[in-house]
Structure 1
Amino acid sequence: MFNVVTVCTGNICRSPMAEALLRAEVERAGLAREVEVASAGVSDEEHGNPVDPRARTVLARNDLELPQHSAHRITDRELAQADLLVAMTASHQEQLRQRLPGAAADKVRLMRSFDPAVDPSGEDLDIADPWYGGAEDFDTAWEQIRAATPGLVTWLGERVATR
């Protein structure tokens, strides 16, 4: 199995939305037997909490859900087992890389780096943080995640095919 973990701050907004969408798109692409998708946070401040209700609303509107979600900080074991860590922001990416030894840091990528409409050399590749905003901020984060997901699924399909 190719193990993918989507990562944000507290694991209640962006990374669960990315997990739910990526899991559905991996299934749709016929990769569910080869790709496992999970999510985590870089912080334990939301430990044990469910998906934020505003994020759950976005997921429901898109016929997706994560019924058994419980927020947690990414563990050393998850870091070691992950083939790809998909960070929502440059800060998350840096925090993950600091916890990984040497070349293993290369397995951390930004979610928006998979969006073909985004300049990968651009300064801001962060998925917008919706936490302090309203429903429209969750929609913005969702649209950014949604735009990057097809590129990520294609990338995963290529990796799985060469394993």
Structure 2
Amino acid sequence: MAELVLRELLEAEGLGEEVVVDSAGTTAWEVGNPADPRTLEVLRRHGHVHPSHALHRARAFERRWFAELDLVLAADHGHYSTLRRLAPTPQDKAKVRMLRSFDAAGLAEAEQEMADPWYGDDADFERTYAEVVPAARGVVEHVRRELDR
């Protein structure tokens, strides 16, 4: 969900050609699976309709990617810890941030974790969407500053 929302926001702000947005999990459990239909339904209800959404396939994060990345976003503290353990250098470790740390509400560290909606119902996916959007907007502002725009 975050990948798709962030990509759309960056494109809307004219930054889509300059920034690559991708996603991957920290385990191989879901590798090859499409986006959860409940995620796609929430996105559709909120006006995010793009043919690429149906093409999304899960992948597992690879530590060698750190060399190519400027920012690595984690949804929860478990992902954050795993990604920091995978980071080969202190500089790569510093690239790992909690997605919700970019929320303009200035959430405390304990509030930055997103609950996984997988085992929940539609309301859980809506809550995730409500958490993703302000965080993604904050990422766009961060990228704009980094690109000096």
Q: Structure 1 or 2: larger strand share?
A: 1
Aligned to 2:27: 43
**Are 2:126 and 1:142 equivalent residues in the alignment?**
no
- 1: CA distance between counterparts of 2:107 and 2:60? 30
User: How far is 1:32 from its partner?
Assistant: 1.2
- 2: CA distance between counterparts of 1:131 and 1:79? 27
**Are 2:43 and 1:59 equivalent residues in the alignment?**
yes
User: How far is 1:79 from its partner?
Assistant: 2.9
- 1: CA distance between counterparts of 2:40 and 2:32? 16
- 1: CA distance between counterparts of 2:58 and 2:136? 22
Structure 2 residue identity aligned to 1:105? K
- 2: CA distance between counterparts of 1:76 and 1:119? 28
Structure 2 residue identity aligned to 1:127? M
Structure 2 residue identity aligned to 1:43? T
2:81 to 94, 98, 118: 94
User: How far is 1:100 from its partner?
Assistant: 0.5
Structure 2 contact 10–140 (Cα < 8 Å) conserved: yes
- 1: CA distance between counterparts of 2:142 and 2:111? 21
- 1: CA distance between counterparts of 2:148 and 2:20? 15
Aligned to 1:14: none
Q: How much is the aligned-residue C-alpha RMSD, in angstroms?
A: 1.4
Secondary structure at the counterpart of residue 151 of structure 1 = helix
- 1: CA distance between counterparts of 2:65 and 2:46? 28
Structure 1 contact 34–160 (Cα < 8 Å) conserved: no
Aligned to 2:58: 71
- 2: CA distance between counterparts of 1:118 and 1:127? 15
- 2: CA distance between counterparts of 1:38 and 1:86? 10
CA gap of 1:103–1:79, structure 2 versus 1, over 3 A, is closer
Stretches of 4+ aligned residues off by more than 6 angstroms: none
Normalised by the length of structure 1, the TM-score is 0.83
Sequence identity (%): 37
- Which runs of 5 or more structure 1 residues have no equivalent in the other structure? 1-16
- 2: CA distance between counterparts of 1:80 and 1:92? 19
User: How far is 1:69 from its partner?
Assistant: 0.8
User: How far is 1:123 from its partner?
Assistant: 1.7
User: How far is 1:146 from its partner?
Assistant: 0.8
Q: Structure 1 or 2: larger helix share?
A: 2
Normalised by the length of structure 2, the TM-score is 0.91
Aligned to 1:131: 118
Corresponding residue pairs, total: 145
Aligned to 2:3: 19
